[in-house]
Amino acid sequence: MPKTPTPQAGARPRDEPSARHSPVEISHGRARGKQTPGQSPGPRPTRSSRPPSKLGDTIFAIVHVIALIAVFIYGLAGLIQRNTGRFAVVCGGLVLYYFLVLHKAVRKEVDRKRRLKNSPPSQRP
């Protein structure tokens, strides 16, 4: 009976999938084609060519306005209960949120409306 060689420490048996296939053929995640593990897969695919949903934008805006109003009412409830610290923190947070997140977009929209108002009617969309 022939003696089969014993595998060395750390060696993989030949019937394991990693021993039968090269790393090029194995595709985990975004690695495709002739990329080997560790190579950059390149840029992510772009969104489809269809325009963004106007209804989705409107729903997003309405939900956030309702949330901002609810936070302000929570601050007012604190003021009514003579908890001026809570009112100050909530209103300060809302003001900070406005200037950090919303102010740039609000200024753009105001400027756009002003340009539309001052432009001749023939140039309006």
Instruction: Say if residues 26 and 32 touch (Cβ distance below 8 Å).
Output: no
**The two three-digit tokens of residue 42, written as one number:** 């390149």
CA distance 44 to 34: 17
Residues 39-68 have pLDDT tens digits of: 666 666 666 656 767 788 888 888 888 999
Compute, in degrees rounded to 10, the torsion defined by CA atoms 90, 95, 97, 101: 170
Instruction: Say if residues 71 and 94 touch (Cβ distance below 8 Å).
Output: yes
Give SS3 for 37.
Answer: coil
**Least confident interval from 53-57, 73-77, 82-86, 91-95:** 53-57
